[in-house]
Chain A
Amino acid sequence: MTHHEYDVVIVGAGGAGMRAALESSQRARTAVLTKLYPTRSHTGAAQGGMAAALANVEDDNAEWHVFDTVKGGDYLVDQDAAEILCHEAIDAVLDLEKMGLPFNRTPDGKVDQRRFGGHTRNHGEAAVRRACYSADRTGHMILQTLYQQCIKQEVEFFNEYYVLDLILDQDPQAAAPGEEVAVAGVVALELSTGQIHTFRAKSVIFATGGAGKVFKTTSNAHTLTGDGMGIALNAGLPLEDMEFFQFHPTGLAGLGILLSEAARGEGGILRNSEGERFMERYAPTIKDLAPRDMVARAMANEVREGRGAGPHKDYVLLDLTHLEPAHIDEKLPDITEFARTYLGVEPYTEPVPVYPTAHYAMGGIPTTVRGEVLRNNTDIVKGLYAAGECACVSVHGANRLGTNSLLDINVFGRRAGIAAAEHAATVDEAAVLPDDAAARVEGIVTRLLATVSGSGTERVADVRKALQETMDRNVQVFRDATSLEEAQRVVAELKERYKDVAIHDRGRRFNTDLLEAIELGFLLEISEVVVAGALARQESRGGHYREDFPTRDDEKFMHHTMAYATEDGVRLDTKPVVVTKYQPMERKY
């Protein structure tokens, strides 16, 4: 075992982690621990753009952006956080440009902007061009640019170090309200050697990304297994609003690979088997550019009512055939290539089969607007921060608008980096990392390695597949008490089966078999929380749609869900929503 000491440790090297690192490493001795090489992070798969009211191509302002974000999130957004997000958006984009990000340009050389779902002029009048973009690979450019800046600043990376535990100086659930709880460090598994490392730090930032792999059909990478969220939960911290999961309307049918909303922003149209532009019926004003939750539901509904396309009538069609091929090549080169490569469809002349795909967790580790992690509704954990998809600040509420996540990682990644470094400067000594800090992780690794020659009968892949299938079947776009209870039963059963899991690789070095077994543990825990929250929320709001409670119920449910892991299962609590300007109204587009 090797021990390290830093002022700031950042866990995760996607957009949020590296944006934080750029701030923190200027101010404090910083280490970035990442399961993947930084450039493999899933920020790089984001396509369409990053929202900011630059008003480079038409009239726009940050306040309209705030309104759209709040309304898009079905009023579950904390409005103080949304104001920060949208007002700091402009500098966030300009900062990236100055770092070298190659945005597409207007004829007069400014950052170009395009339309995206739910972003409107003057509180819903019409779609507005707010998304700053770089073809359909904006996330790739952000990830590359941030990594390049990290090279320039000589940020210290620990690549392929898989963080598995968070050490606090006391149990946050046992501590009295108001009592100080502080971070002490993290424990990581070095994948190339199998060695365990402890990192003591004054500040720790979690920027570990999403958990899309709880579902079968997802746009998320294989590696997005909710590790950071699971670690927080195991450390006695709550997760907020986990029942809100975004299903992106346009995943490649059968595969889930993301086709950017930019396809519709650039003029693409969704059609059913009758060739009808069905979104006209669901969102008469902005049609195909309605927010993702509404479009995904509309698509699923078309299929359910028999108007799906294809031999099994189980998908709808994304039609780009009326666009000029040159325009497609310039603005949407990657996603059209995905259609060609994976479905053999030529988007110039054929419509592309699409169906909703699990895309984004609106919920996560609750934080303040400075990125400080909350251990209950009001108390923060000293020195602990979170940003990006693993966090919930909450700027996305019940449904995130497209292009607001690349924005989120930049704005709140930056804020967390600054806050973490500033905190480290005020602390003489980090909290004590106990001698047995690595015991839990050692226990997990030893136990799983012992299963190679043990009596375990379950395969990781089988349990994971059963989990993903039940989540797809029961917790997707449409949910009800029956489906959720079924999911709850299956997840509980799979947690039992997980205890009998056996792996095959007995080695220490690059034991990716072991890695997948650990990841599955996190997936099961996250799923349990998602389902518990969804069962308790007997209303429909944003991405959470209950067929047995089809309307929003502000009287009973205008609050965040706070979920805690206890020995008796998931304990749910509520947290008030911060409302500043915008009172809930009916959500029409």
Chain B
Amino acid sequence: MTATAESPAVGEVKAMQVTLRILRTNPEGTDDHAPGESYWQEFQVEAHATDRVLDALHKIKWEQDGSLAFRRSCAHGVCGSDAMRINARNRLACKTLLKDLNPAKPIIVEPIKGLPVEKDLIVDMEPFFASYREIMPFLVTTGNAPTRERLQSPEDRQRFDDTTKCILCAACTTSCPVFWTDGQYFGPQAIVGAHRFIFDSRDEGQWDRLEILNDKAGVWKCRTAFNCTEACPRGIEVTKAISEVKKVLTTGEI
């Protein structure tokens, strides 16, 4: 088929009023709220159905209340800065369009759960990254490196493709009920990060990594709630990856 000019209209969407209900926290306090106290605040913005939630947040910040704090960077779902809880589900604000929510009702925006809130929608990511660092998230090899590339068949490369897509946004980990209540659990992301290397045919550190995951804070904490798979903005089958790691630990075979 040859493409012709019959293409969808861009920018032909009518404006509408949207309400955002945002869970706010100011570590230094405001006139009405004590330092660290969390409270709900509603904002009305004019927006388009094709706008991202991030666009609506920017409108609030830029036109109504500059003190609203959230992280963002790329604005198209690849940098992982703006994971937040939107209508009770973890998502990236830049990858969630208003038309995918029900704009007739207030859109509820909260920080992701299970990490300390720093300010408004910003949480302390350090515990999350600490778990990632724990699982040796780097290629481990022994012996002399070849002069050219290490060879890897397309099939072997495909084996771990899904988990290479991770952008460390923490949407999966902070959607996990075990992570919320168990102070020790690595969380799904760390297992995804380990999976990416365990199933890489070039890697020789898989058993060290598996030992870490076999530990009490590791894979066995997972209760296959599937929240993580639903939350992943990159479409990674997180629960499946965790199951594959569990299977290796059970069978001793990769």
B78 touches A102 (CB 8 A): no
Q: Nearest CB to that of B119 among chain A residues?
A: A510
CB of A350 within 8 A of CB of B8, answer yes
Q: Is the CB of A322 within 8 A of B75?
A: no
Contact of A129 with B by CB under 8 A: no
In whole angstroms, how far apart are the Cα atoms of A109 and B202 in the complex?
Answer: 12
Report the minimal beta-carbon distance from A406 to chain B, rounded to whole angstroms.
Answer: 15
Check A319/B65 contact, CB under 8 A, given A100-B202, A345-B8: no
A109 and B153 contact, CB distance less than 8 A: yes
- Asked if residues B8 and A353 are in contact (CB atoms below 8 Å), the reply is yes
Complex CA gap A509/B29 in Å reads 11
Q: Which of A384-392, A500-508, A555-563 contacts B (4 or more CB under 8 A)?
A: A500-508
- A45, B74: Cβ atoms under 8 Å? yes
What chain A residues lie within 8 Å of B28 (beta carbons)? 507-509
Could you tell me if A504 and B66 are in contact, using CB atoms closer than 8 angstroms? yes
The 8 A CB mask of A516-554 against B (1 = contact, 0 = none) is: 000000000000000000000000000000000000000
- Bound complex: CA A581 to CA B195 (Å): 49
Determine whether the beta carbon of B118 is less than 8 Å from that of A192.
Answer: yes
- Contact between A310 and B5, CB atoms less than 8 A apart: yes
- Pick the interface stretch among A60-68, A137-145, A419-427: A137-145
Judging by beta carbons under 8 Å apart, are A100 and B67 in contact? no
A154 to chain B, nearest CB (A): 9
Closest CB of chain A to B80's CB: distance in Å? 6
Interface majority SS (helix, strand, loop, mixed), chain A: loop
Interface string of B74-97 (1 = CB under 8 A from A): 111111110000000000000101
> Taking the complex as formed, is A205 at the interface, i.e. its CB lies under 8 A from any CB of chain B?
no
CB-based contact A343/B8 at 8 Å = yes
Bound Cα distance A93, B148 (Å): 10
B104: interface (CB < 8 Å):
no
Chain A residues whose CB sits within 8 angstroms of the CB of B69 once the complex forms: 505, 510-512
**Given known A-B contacts A148-B138, A311-B12, A353-B7, A461 and B62 have beta carbons under 8 A apart:** yes
By beta carbon, the residue of chain B nearest A39 is B168
Q: Decide if B76 touches A342 in the complex (CB within 8 Å).
A: yes
Is there contact, CB below 8 Å, between B150 and A254? no
Which of B158-166, B178-186, B219-227, B246-254 touches A? B158-166
| Bound-complex Cα distance A254 to B55 (A) | 14
How far apart are the CA atoms of A322 and B149 in the complex, in Å?
34
**Which residue in B61, B73, B125 is a CB contact (below 8 Å) of A513?**
B61
B72 near A513 with CB under 8 A, answer no
Give the complex CA separation of A435 and B228 in angstroms. 51
Binds B, one of A268-276, A290-298, A567-575: A268-276
Chain B contact residues: helix, strand, loop or mixed: loop
Q: A105-B154, A222-B75, A510-B119 are in contact. Are A321 and B3 (CB under 8 A)?
A: yes
- Nearest to A322 among chain B residues (CB) is B1
In the bound complex, do residue B3 and residue A102 qualify as a contact, i.e. CB atoms below 8 Å apart?
Answer: no
CA distance A223 to B4 in the complex (A): 37
A100-B200 contact, Cβ under 8 Å, with A140-B167, A257-B76, A461-B63:
yes
- B2 interfacial by beta-carbon distance below 8 Å: yes
Contact with A along B169-202 (1 / 0, CB 8 A): 0000000000000000000000000000100101
From residue B34, how far is it (CB to closest CB) to chain A in Å?
14
CA distance in complex: A505, B78 (Å): 28
Residue of B nearest to A504 (CB): B66
> Are B200 and A102 closer than 8 Å at their CB atoms?
yes
Query: Which of B8, B95, B120 makes the CB contact (< 8 A) with A344?
Result: B8
B window 104-142: CB within 8 A of A: 118-120, 122, 125, 129, 132-133, 136-139, 141
Q: Mark A351-365, 1 if CB is under 8 A from B, else 0.
A: 101000000000000
A98-B8 in contact (CB<8A) = no
Q: What residue in chain A is nearest B133 (Cβ atoms)?
A: A151
Among A39, A98, A319, A341, the residue within 8 A (CB) of B95 is A341
- The reply to whether the CB of A450 lies closer than 8 angstroms to some CB of chain B is no
CA distance A144 to B61 in the complex (A): 31
B67, A310: Cβ atoms closer than 8 Å: no
A222 to B62, CA, bound (A): 13
B103 interface residue (CB < 8 Å to A): no
A319 and B2 contact, CB distance less than 8 A: yes
Contact B75 A504 (CB under 8 A): no
Chain A CB within 8 A of B143 CB: no
With A192-B118, A341-B77 known as contacts, the answer to whether A110 contacts B149 (CB < 8 A) is yes
A480: min CB distance to chain B, Å:
27
Residues 1-25 of B contacting A (Cβ, < 8 Å): 1-5, 7-12
Q: Cβ of B7 and Cβ of A310 under 8 Å apart? A: yes
Which residues in B have their C-beta under 8 angstroms from that of A41?
79
Q: Are B26 and A507 in contact (CB under 8 A)?
A: yes
A102 touches which of B5, B65, B79, B157 (Cβ 8 Å): B157
Instruction: Report how far A315 CA is from B74 CA in the complex, Å.
Output: 23
Asked whether A317 lies within 8 Å of B152 as measured between CB atoms, the reply is no
Nearest CB of B to A324, in Å: 13
In the bound complex, residues from chain A placing their C-beta under 8 Å from that of B79 are 36, 39-42, 44-45, 221
- A97/B150 in contact, CB under 8 A: yes
Tell me, in angstroms, the Cα distance from A273 to B6 when the chains sit together: 8
A99 in the interface, Cβ–Cβ < 8 Å?
Answer: yes
- Asked if A459 lies at the interface with its beta carbon under 8 angstroms from chain B, I say yes
Residues of chain B lying within 8 A (CB to CB) of residue A344 = 8, 50
Question: Quick check: B149 and A310 within 8 Å, CB to CB?
Answer: no
What residues on A are CB-neighbors of B120 within 8 Å?
A: 510
**CB-based contact B80/A459 at 8 Å:** no
- A513 to nearest B CB, angstroms? 4
Q: Which of A451-507 contact B (CB under 8 A)?
A: 459-461, 503-507
The 3 A-B residue pairs whose C-beta atoms are closest, nearest first, are A100-B139, A504-B66, A351-B3
Cβ contacts A to B, 21 pairs, < 8 Å: A44-B78, A44-B167, A45-B76, A93-B149, A102-B160, A102-B164, A111-B149, A151-B133, A151-B137, A271-B3, A310-B5, A321-B2, A334-B78, A338-B77, A344-B8, A345-B8, A353-B7, A507-B27, A509-B118, A510-B69, A511-B69
A-binding residues in B (CB < 8 A): 1-5, 7-12, 26-28, 50, 61-63, 65-67, 69-81, 95, 97, 118-120, 122, 125, 129, 132-133, 136-139, 141, 145, 148-154, 157, 160-161, 164-168, 197, 200, 202-203
Given A343-B8, A513-B61, 14 additional A-B pairs, CB 8 A: A36-B79, A40-B80, A41-B79, A45-B79, A102-B160, A102-B161, A102-B200, A137-B78, A148-B139, A271-B3, A315-B10, A350-B8, A503-B66, A507-B67
